[in-house]
Amino acid sequence: MKRQNTILLFCFFSLLPIPFVIGIFTDGAGLGALWDAISFVIVYVAAILLFLTTFNNTTKCSKNFSIYKLMWLQEMFILSGILGTFLGFIFIFEGMALDAAPGVDPSAALISNFAIAILTILYGVIGATTIYLVQKYYELKNDTMENIEIEKPKEGFLFSSALYFFIFIIIDVFAAYIGSRNTGGAAILFNIEKNIYMITFIIILILFYNGNSFVNLIKNVFFYYPNSEKNIIYNLKFIRNMKKIIAMFIIISLLCAPVVMLLALCCIPPEMNNIGWNNTPFIGVKNGGVIFVWSLFIIIILSVIEGREVSKLYFETGKISAGDRYYSLKYILSSAFLLFFTVSIGIMLSFTAL
């Protein structure tokens, strides 16, 4: 399938929800309520950059492999959307605990971060749905594309992949800076006490790996080197299991956080901060959000490496190992929705109590 046709289909299917959106928002806030440039960049631009990082050298491939790439991109839209959602939540709760700087409206800063939290998850679902429609279009199209000649990437360093990934990092850092500039800064994301979990899991990654070379596995993000089918299959099994382990820790945290938050709302007396809001019950959610963000970042990196390994398996053997296509829905999105609605209810209850 041609890249130009895929881009046109993506744009076309992205426009299909507009009549429904117009019908919902014409009498109230208007369509402007659904637009936020930072949210769009965090989700759409970031997901596409990750796609280019992973599959930039796979333009000539079979239909089945093209379908796999579309399924992979669906997962990136969901992960990017949830990443933006928790960045927004972290800066909301951090801003609530701080005194407002002179000339800064704390309510405006918090509302802007809440908009990021809501719109990024909305953009993620819409983007994933759009790619799903593109995928189904190609699956139903009677075009096997089995005789296409496969072109392997050149061995060694892949400059284009490194460039796209570097731009992705710059975008996320810039988005974090914009969201946090009136809420205490982005230093909370790099607090060593809140990132012990991430460091611990990196150690687990290294200790559990029994393949040929852990360094070469990580280098897959920017390099292409042929490998044996046995080791590629092991790498894929290892990555997918590690992603599930991270997700299970996230699920446990997200199930505990709402219970702790609601108990705190009932037991802790109201305290006054910059807008007269009780921030204490949400400290655990804020700290858990930091863990969630870094966990998602590790999952995204592992997904990029997974896509690389699937590509390598395809180049070397012609086989495709798609894995669990519903991973992000089962392990990430469902739990994120639970915390999202619980936190929203908790915020409303905290204001009502005051």
Cross-strand partners of 157: 223
Give the separation between CA 215 and CA 218, rounded to whole angstroms: 5
- The pLDDT value recorded for residue 236 is 92
Mean pLDDT of 155-163: 87
Mean pLDDT of 327-349: 74
Cross-strand partners of 223: 157
Cβ neighbour number for residue 107 with a 10 Å cutoff: 12
User: To the nearest whole percent, how much of the chain has pLDDT over 90?
Assistant: 12
pTM of the entire structure?
0.85
- Per the structure, the count of domains in the chain is 1
Following DSSP, what letter does each residue of 95-155 receive, concatenated? Answer: HHTSPPPTT--HHHHHHHHHHHHHHHHHHHHHHHHHHHHHHHHHHHSS---TTPPP-PPPS
State which residues form the domain around 131.
3-353
User: To the nearest whole percent, how much of the chain has pLDDT over 70?
Assistant: 70
